[in-house]
Amino acid sequence: MWLAGPEPGAAQTAKPAETPTLPSSGVAGGADDDGLIARRASSATRTDTPTGEIPQSGSVVTRAQLDAQDARSVNEAFRYAPGIATEQWGGVTAFDQLTIRGFTGENGEVDTFLDGMRQTGGIVYGSQQVDPFLLERMEVLRGPASVLYGIASPGGVVALTSKLPRDEPIRRVELEGGTRGYRRGSFDLGGRASDDGAWLYRVAGTAWNSDGKVDGFPARRRAVAPSLVWQPSTATRVTLYARYQDDPSMGSLGSVPAVGSVLPSPHGRFPLHLNPGEPAYDTFSRKQRAAGYRVDQRLGGDWSVSLNGRYSGIDLHRATISGSRLRPDLRTIDRNTSLSDETYHAVTLDNQLKGRFATGPVQHELLAGISWEQMHGHGDYGQGAAPPLDLYQPVYGAPITSSPSMFMDNHVRSTQTGFYLQDQLALGNWHTTLGVRHDRSTIDTDDRLGHSGFKQLDEANTFRVGSLYRFENGVAPYVTYAQSFQPTNRLSASGKPFKPSRGELVEAGLKVQPDQWDALLTVAVFNLTQADLLTADPDNAAFSIQAGEL
């Protein structure tokens, strides 16, 4: 048995008067993030909606809660959120590997969206990740969300909101330290760049070092996120932003045997911080960069458009040695080498039209949008043999006599285009959400080792309908139905691509959030399924068939 080896472990002045009236950004936050309990959310509807009026289960981690928990990753931030299994690799902070209602996204990682746009998933290890200090809040929507976000796991999605300029002074500097050589310095500065408030700025940055919880494999990070807002009138707001994050050492992903660590061994327990790898060989580095814009323009009355675009890129290198098997002597482990290099570039666009109107006594909040994203990437992966290691008398530096054998070397180009429409209806205390989306997905894979390639073309329609009745005392029962889809980038034994897996949710619940309470109580019962999953082909073990369901 094996266990995942864990890793590393300002005051504000009053808001200036005469703030211009700006178009709604559709992103919850601001003053709502000053407390532990949020009263508004945006992940479930892509609009700024009271949490007590959303007919689906979700959780919000505000900036105040992130600070109170001193969360260093998305995993740590959602420790207290229901229906989520976090930190499945122990204290590893290099990846956001969450299980929401028993489901995961691509490569075992959660489907994450930053400011409403997808954080591109990696080919092997190269997924985007944002340091929590650069974020204003985190939200999780439990259940299918493809109707607004496109490709996604049926379990749910995580929506992150960046720190962006506000029309108020922001002056925050932090220094902190801890065990295992943990040291961190952070700053968050912002406010008006012009006397009239037409220009706003914000710069957030953080840097931290840790010895890690495995000797000889430290964890380090440097990150900065500048942003600028230009608001020439009360009807126009232009936001420009960038982010650079350098993780020169992300710590070990290795594991140690259960026997001798958490289970008894005739040899006793080996050191808590034992490195099962090779300090002189192991390296795991990642560089991320992103730049984007957002244009909010009021068209007149209660109608506005929002234009969003972002470029993101990543470079990752991993060369490590890890344990693979505990020998019968219960003290020696066999080890292997692992090598991976990955790079990709992605462009994401998301344009929306929003408006409010009435049809008789029914109030409508309409959202219509078009999203497009494209990723070009390359990833390779290999493994090889490495010298064994005595866990109780480790001797490092033995020569590695063979290079890893590459068994994956792929160029991937993926494109997704989505058209979505949502209507939030309100009639008295009734709140109903209707949504529909059509997606087209293309994944073009070039297998350079096998000198072959294939293209996966998929289309899918997804729907959602939910209704909630909010009593005057803050009690709100609701019901909802939602769908999701995920393409399957694999071929059958006959050479045919598989169709996307589909998810369905039927949920009923109750929310309690009286105005006088600084709390939100929720309870839900649901039936969540995912069909057309891959399972082993009984006639050809090297391939799969599409017959599974969860």
Q: What is the pLDDT of residues 260-300, one digit of tens each?
A: 988 999 999 988 888 898 888 888 899 999 999 999 999 98
pLDDT at 107: 66
Across 186-197, average pLDDT: 95
**512 Cβ neighbours under 8 A, 6+ residues apart:** 474, 475, 476, 520, 521, 522
Q: Is 57 within 8 Å of 214 (Cβ atoms)?
A: no
The mean predicted confidence, pLDDT, of the chain is 87
Judge whether residue 531 has pLDDT over 90. no
Judge whether residue 500 has pLDDT over 50. yes
Judge whether residue 523 has pLDDT over 50. yes
- The Cα–Cα gap between 35 and 28 comes to 13
Handedness of CA 103, 377, 306, 30 (dihedral sign): positive
- Among 469-473, 507-511, 512-516, the range scoring the smallest mean pLDDT is 512-516
338-361 pLDDT per residue, tens:
899 999 999 999 999 999 999 999
pLDDT at 492: 62
- Tokens 């009639």 -> residue: 427
- Among 34-38, 162-166, 260-264, 295-299, the range scoring the smallest mean pLDDT is 34-38
pLDDT at 24: 43
Q: How confident is the model at residue 32 (pLDDT cuts 50, 70, 90)?
A: low
Judge whether residue 437 has pLDDT over 90. yes
pLDDT at 543: 66
Q: Which CATH class is domain 2-549?
A: mainly beta
More confident position, 243 or 218? 243
- The Cα–Cα gap between 524 and 156 comes to 15
Judge whether residue 3 has pLDDT over 90. no
Question: Letter for the amino acid at 260?
Answer: G
**94 Cβ neighbours under 8 A, 6+ residues apart:** 7, 129, 247, 250, 251, 253, 284, 286
Judge whether residue 31 has pLDDT over 50. no
Share of the chain above pLDDT 90, in %: 56
More confident position, 508 or 514? 508
Q: What is the DSSP string of 444-464?
A: EEEETTTTEEEEEEEEEEEEE
More confident position, 209 or 451? 209
pLDDT at 6: 34
Across 9-15, average pLDDT: 37
Q: How confident is the model at residue 25 (pLDDT cuts 50, 70, 90)?
A: very low
Judge whether residue 134 has pLDDT over 50. yes
Q: Is 268 within 8 Å of 245 (Cβ atoms)?
A: no
Judge whether residue 324 has pLDDT over 90. no
pLDDT at 341: 92
pLDDT at 499: 80
Say if pTM beats, i.e. exceeds, 0.85. yes
pLDDT at 405: 87
**296 Cβ neighbours under 8 A, 6+ residues apart:** 22, 23, 24, 25, 236, 237, 238, 239, 304, 305, 306
Across 92-98, average pLDDT: 77
383-404 pLDDT per residue, tens:
899 999 999 999 998 888 777 8
- Among 22-26, 226-230, 459-463, 489-493, the range scoring the smallest mean pLDDT is 22-26
Q: Where are the domains of the chain?
A: 2-549
Q: Among 328, 213, 323, 325, which residue's Cα sits nearest to residue 265?
A: 328
Q: How confident is the model at residue 21 (pLDDT cuts 50, 70, 90)?
A: very low
Across 220-232, average pLDDT: 97
